Structure 1
Amino acid sequence: MNFNFLSPVSDLVLAHSELLSTQALGRKLKIHSAQLGIPDLKDVNIAIIGVLENRNDINYIGEEFQLNEIRKAFYSLFPGSWNTTVADLGDIHKGETVEDTYFAVKEAISVLVQKKIIPVILGGSQDLTYANYRAYDDLIPMVNIVNVDAQFNLGDSTKPIKNNSFVGKIILDEPYNLFNYATIGYQTYFNAREELDLMDSLYFESYRLGEVSHDITSVEPALRDANIVSIDLNVIKGSELGLNQRYSPNGLDGKEICAIARYAGISNKVSSFGIYEYKPSKDDDMTSLLIAQMLWYFIEGVNYRVLDDDFSDENNYQKFTTLIEEEDLVFYKSNKTGRWWIEIPFLSEVNNKLKRHTLLPCTHQDYKDACNNIIPERWYKAFQKNCV
């Protein structure tokens, strides 16, 4: 597979990188340069790809953008004590049509995931998540997506795809591979009542901004269960970002969005990660530095992944059973990490592809609720989806 559609990281960024400390990230990455070409991907764990496509933004008026400031900020950071090798493969430029760009994104992600390399997409408009999702068509039977966003982006799936309606296309376009869709950090006043009702009727998960800010750990199980994590920068509080980037006075703060990026990294299942809706403006160091720190925390998380979901050996876990309304709820707690799972009864009479979904990540609080006769909401929604 060649990556002919990837253009190298700009000489401007590389020149900036040469001035950095030899310990900085920019001196340790494998970088696609005009001089040396695409680096050898052997031993690479994470690959950064910029996608300069924003034509399906509902507010698009022909503006171009580039990612140099994010790269400069990221390259300037220092790595943790990582064993993770990171490559920067450069950018996918706009194709002749948006569909051409989607095809290039889909191809790149598909190849990288098959090589066990996690693609990190730095994007224009968030509809690129659709291309990311389609890359999994031939890879796994069912896909879980987490969207960290102020809006659900369900939209009207009968209309052409836009950055505020791509999830509707994901749900309704064949092949149907979506199992679960979860939105983290949504703000009710940005979402039509019909979309909230649709989320409920499809048994999808949604975490309100207040809920997330009150207890950031509540979203960890959803991220642990995700294959794709897509972050819309509009979920971040306006005061944390540069002038062009501000969307809402309310939103997640820098610390919360970095914690979410780290949870996504620690998840053994997350195999692609994207940050979208970047709108650079002059003298906006704040947005690019926050994105750089989100990337840093994601890589930090990947570096600390622990295979704690092997329940074939009884020494690896503790098992707990509670009874609610004549239903046995079975919980597992990893001895390695202390993380929790709950068993979803597999319905043999239902012809579905969900055998691998019989263990669902959950929290210790879910177990405590079950002991008090409260059915955990994640379990209920997953069970209902299993029955459909």
Structure 2
Amino acid sequence: MSFFNHLKVDYTAGNQKDWTGRKTVLENQYWYQNITVSNIENENFDAEINIGLIGYSCDEGVRRNQGRIGARKGPASVRNKLGKIPIHFNNKNIVDFGDIICFDDHLEDCQKALSKSISKLISNKVLPIAIGGGHDIAYANFSGIKDALKDSTKNNIGIINFDAHFDLRTVETLPNSGTPFNQILSEYKEASYFAIGIQQQSNTKELFEIADKNNVSYVSNLECETFTESLKNKLTSFIKKADYLYITIDLDGFSSAFATGVSAPSPLGFSPNFVYKTLEFLFESKKVVSCDIAELNPDFDIDNNTAGLAAKLVDFIVLNA
């Protein structure tokens, strides 16, 4: 019986041909030489796997949210850039588990399929790094975390979202890329939410009211020029209350100087250096249980710079995990 039985979703296992880079006679110089591939349906985890990559090839949530579609191409674009990056980590077995692909408009089934995959990875002590796809990936990732921890007495999950948007819209008709954190907070009372990089001009007054009503912690993009002592103190307080951390990075939170290839670009976002410094601090907690990168849209990328940024974020996460 298929792992994705009864779900209207497509799946392609990891493929070594997706990983290419500079030819060299030396071993373990680049990502493409170090990565292995597998099928999430058949993987029995006989060998220790430290990190699992899985693509969420879906932009149905973005379409429903009236955004610029194209994010379904994100995972392939990231692999193309990631394979060429030199490696500076040791003794980490990283496996590419391929892509979960949205079939027609069946967003909810695609989310369920990713959720099952995330749960399986965490249950086998593997850190998932999911690559989207729209930010509806967050609801799927969180659902997988929740399922993996359902028998744990420690189930306080803190969400750290690097983003220009709260993504706290209420579900009026169908869920979309703007509703994931409203869905999470409505369904799971043990969750807490900290948004980093919120832009006033990208969120309505209603969204700020929803954030306040749900005790959402946030800092504006104006507070994200550098990793300040003030932000460190706020995050320290947030982390102390959480048993686990889930980190999600929406690429539209970056300034469009660094990330043009997104659904909603803005010149007012944060820098890669700021995110690196913040990620480094978050991983020092040893509480990170899952990560994802969302909203890469190759159709609007320039010179694949945004894909390169996403790939380097994956590499930085692996270095610090």
TM range (shorter): 0.7 to 0.9
Q: Which is worse superposed, 103-112 or 193-202? A: 193-202
1:194 matched to 2:206? The reply is yes
Select which of 155, 175, 185 maps to 1:171: 185
Conservation of the 8 A alpha-carbon contact between 1:151 and 1:187? yes
1:69 matched to 2:86? The reply is no
Q: Deviations over 1:215-267 (max 9, x none)?
A: 34525534674521111111000011245666101111121223333334333
Q: Deviations over 1:261-304 (max 9, x none)?
A: 333433311111010001003653211111111111111111xx
2:66 matched residue in structure 1: 59
Say which structure, 1 or 2, has more relative contact order (CA 8 Å, 6+ apart): 2
Q: Which is worse superposed, 228-237 or 66-75? A: 66-75
CA distance in 1, matches of 2:2, 2:132: 21
Conservation of the 8 A alpha-carbon contact between 1:54 and 1:60? no
1:100 matched to 2:109? The reply is yes
1:109 matched residue in structure 2: 118
1:372 matched residue in structure 2: none
Give every structure 1 segment of 4 or more consecutive aligned residues whose post-TM-superposition deviation is greater than 6 Å. none
Q: Normalising by structure 2, what TM-score?
A: 0.81
State the AA in 1 paired with 2:55: G
Select which of 214, 221, 230 maps to 2:248: 230
- Alpha-carbon spacing, 1:25–1:41, altered in 2? closer, same or farther (3 Å): farther
- Alpha-carbon spacing, 1:39–1:17, altered in 2? closer, same or farther (3 Å): farther
- Alpha-carbon spacing, 1:98–1:244, altered in 2? closer, same or farther (3 Å): closer
2:297 matched residue in structure 1: 279
- Alpha-carbon spacing, 1:253–1:119, altered in 2? closer, same or farther (3 Å): same
CA distance in 1, matches of 2:119, 2:30: 30
- Partner of 2:224, secondary structure, is helix
- Alpha-carbon spacing, 1:2–1:263, altered in 2? closer, same or farther (3 Å): farther
Conservation of the 8 A alpha-carbon contact between 2:196 and 2:218? yes
Conservation of the 8 A alpha-carbon contact between 1:258 and 1:293? no
- Partner of 1:238, secondary structure, is coil
Deviation at 1:213, TM superposition (A): 1.8
- Structure 2 runs not aligned, ≥5 long: 5-9
- Alpha-carbon spacing, 1:255–1:50, altered in 2? closer, same or farther (3 Å): same
Deviation at 1:160, TM superposition (A): 1.6
Q: Deviations over 1:314-339 (max 9, x none)?
A: xxxxxxxxxxxxxxxxxxxxxxxxxx
- Partner of 1:121, secondary structure, is strand
2:38 matched residue in structure 1: 32
Deviation at 1:9, TM superposition (A): 3.9
Select which of 51, 68, 89 maps to 2:97: 89
Q: Which is worse superposed, 250-259 or 277-286? A: 277-286
- Name the Cα RMSD after superposition: 2.8
State the AA in 1 paired with 2:159: I
1:289 matched to 2:308? The reply is yes
1:126 matched residue in structure 2: 135
State the AA in 2 paired with 1:241: A
1:249 matched to 2:256? The reply is no
State the AA in 2 paired with 1:164: G
1:210 matched residue in structure 2: 222
- Partner of 1:184, secondary structure, is strand
State the AA in 1 paired with 2:38: H
- Partner of 1:122, secondary structure, is strand
Between Structure 1 and Structure 2, whose CA radius of gyration is higher? 1
CA distance in 2, matches of 1:223, 1:212: 18
1:311 matched residue in structure 2: none
- Alpha-carbon spacing, 1:41–1:199, altered in 2? closer, same or farther (3 Å): farther
CA distance in 1, matches of 2:245, 2:161: 11
The sequence identity of aligned pairs, in percent, is 21
Give the number of equivalent residue pairs: 296
- Structure 1 runs not aligned, ≥5 long: 303-388
Conservation of the 8 A alpha-carbon contact between 1:122 and 1:275? yes
2:7 matched residue in structure 1: none
Conservation of the 8 A alpha-carbon contact between 2:16 and 2:36? no
State the AA in 2 paired with 1:7: T
- Partner of 1:109, secondary structure, is helix
State the AA in 2 paired with 1:109: I
Conservation of the 8 A alpha-carbon contact between 2:74 and 2:307? no
- Partner of 1:206, secondary structure, is strand
State the AA in 2 paired with 1:297: F
Q: Normalising by structure 1, what TM-score?
A: 0.68
CA distance in 2, matches of 1:238, 1:246: 9
State the AA in 1 paired with 2:217: E
Deviation at 1:41, TM superposition (A): 6.0
CA distance in 2, matches of 1:45, 1:11: 18
- Partner of 1:88, secondary structure, is strand
1:146 matched residue in structure 2: 160
Conservation of the 8 A alpha-carbon contact between 2:51 and 2:126? yes
Conservation of the 8 A alpha-carbon contact between 1:242 and 1:284? no
- Alpha-carbon spacing, 1:85–1:2, altered in 2? closer, same or farther (3 Å): farther
1:157 matched residue in structure 2: 171
- Alpha-carbon spacing, 1:66–1:165, altered in 2? closer, same or farther (3 Å): closer
